[in-house]
A and B are shown apart, each in its own frame.
Chain A
Amino acid sequence: MYYYRRLPQFEYVAPGSLKEAASFLQAHPRETRVMAGGTILLHRMKERIGVKKYVMSLKAVPGLDAIDKAPGQVKIGSMVTIQTIADAPVVRRQCGLLAAACQMLGTPQIRSMGTIGGNVACNLATAEIVPVLIALDAQATLAGAKGSRTVSVEELYREVRDGEFVTEILVPVKAGQAWGYEKWAMRKRFDYATVSAAVAIAGTGRVCKDAKIALGGVTLPTRRARRAEEILKGRSLTNRLIVEAAEAAAEDARTGADIHFTAEYKKELIKVMVSRALKQAVSPGKEG
């Protein structure tokens, strides 16, 4: 793979309002890369991957860097950095799963630069926050020239149209939700997750009313482990059931080989990650 020390030629645009950003993107939908934190985009541009004529930065758009508590949900602006989310008391209190996953992403530098909007919008299998948001049933607000609309994060890549960009993530707050998060990376505190598992369980005691299991490091289209979720629903989460669900998740997951691991090995990892995440969720003190 080629790697250049300098960035290629491009034009930098930094609109000062949402409206301005939407109309610029509407005018040049296929010639523009939207930039949030820049950690993924600039890296890829140095590799000369996906270089387009314009880079539109959202840094100057006001109001995209706030975390707000609304009734029943936490609203996170797309330009809020991963470290800010990991540290925010409201996120730690209300969406423990998201705070934990943010704290485990990348390195201090990457967490200080990278944003939730960038992680969600980049459409890479390695995006670690996406499975977490899917498990939490989060939604994303998309802005476009015709106004904004809200779609579920799970459907985001199918829904997003040319000229639209993510402005906000809405995370529902559910009382009594237990969670677990496991990430497996070559260097735990540095690398992207080779695979990861995020689980959110609704129920009382060990009996599971509803379960959401989402996986990282799997190839799209789906990150949900639906059959595993069905196995858990309405049943008591014994170790045996957890293993059964983890096996189903691994069996159904689409994995691809990379430079380090085969697709089969990743399936094994998924099995272990899902069962560990579920065990985490049923261990005491994991509500909220």
Chain B
Amino acid sequence: MKQEMEFTVNGEHYTVRVDTRRTLLEVLRETLGLTGTKEMCNKGDCGGCTVIMDGKPILSCLTLAIEAQGKEILTIEGLADGYTLHPIQQAFVESGAIQCGYCTPGFIMSAKALLDRNPHPTEDQIKEGIANNICRCTGYVQIVEAIQAAARTMKRPVKRPMKGPSRKPGGGKQ
């Protein structure tokens, strides 16, 4: 059964017809073409599909797309400002917190949700904040360091407003 729904992804308004048994992850990747959000375990264990919905980190593989009706979604594609990376992304690059990169979008979205809630987390709070994310190559030391570095960078007043990308994400409106 298909239903029409409206929601905002990275500041862009979308109206799509979705099968009510599709997950938000499937609609983001397959309908909107936003493949930055990764499908990994698809059962809520790995955190690779983490996106931010109305300011809170959620697992898009365990969310029905239809339940995102009227919500504001932020995915990894919505962080960079054109070609300027978000401070968390930049910190991941500089700290060597990326190896194969597949878990990275999930980690960065978890880190974003954590730093929005708690701009000065302790190391333990960072580990707690990324507890739902699994990385099988880099290990977690560099990832924790990256989030600490991002917290330091973001503490300084940055003039750049946080907004969606100036380029349109793939897929476009339907």
Contact = CB atoms under 8 A, between A and B. Distances in A.
Given A12-B20, A38-B62, A189-B127, A108 B132 contact: yes
A190 B131 contact: yes
A104 to B, nearest CB: 10
B59 interface: yes
Given A7-B23, A42-B23, A110 B66 contact: no
A42 B113 CA distance: 23
B67 A10 contact: no
A189 B66 contact: no
Given A7-B23, A9-B21, A38-B62, A112 B57 contact: yes
B62 A43 contact: yes
Interface string B34-69: 000001001110010010000011110011101100
Contacts of B42: 3, 5, 46
A12 B129 contact: no
B110 A109 contact: yes
B131 A107 contact: yes
A109 B64 contact: no
B103 to A, nearest CB: 14
A59 B67 contact: yes
Given A10-B21, A12-B20, A108 B129 contact: yes
B158 interface: no
Interface string B82-111: 000000000000000000000000000010
Contacts, number: 78
User: Is the interface on chain A under 10, 10 to 19, 20 to 34, or 35 or more residues?
Assistant: 20 to 34
Nearest to A106: B132
Nearest to A11: B1
Interface in A88-134: 106-110, 112-113
A49 B82 CA distance: 44
B114 interface: yes
Interface in A176-197: 187, 189-190
B64 A42 contact: yes
B128 interface: yes
A107 B21 contact: no
Contacts of A46: 42-43
A189 B66 CA distance: 30
Contacts of B127: 189
Interface in B4-53: 20-23, 26, 39, 42-44, 47, 50
Contacts of A106: 132
A83 interface: yes
20 contacts: A3-B42, A5-B39, A5-B42, A7-B21, A8-B21, A10-B21, A12-B20, A14-B66, A38-B62, A38-B63, A39-B59, A42-B63, A81-B56, A107-B131, A108-B57, A109-B59, A109-B132, A110-B132, A113-B58, A190-B132
Interface of B: 1, 3, 20-23, 26, 39, 42-44, 47, 50, 56-59, 62-64, 66-67, 110, 113-114, 127-129, 131-132
Given A6-B21, A109-B47, 5 more contacts: A81-B56, A107-B131, A109-B50, A113-B62, A113-B63
Closest A-B pairs by Cβ, 3 of them? A107-B132, A12-B20, A189-B131
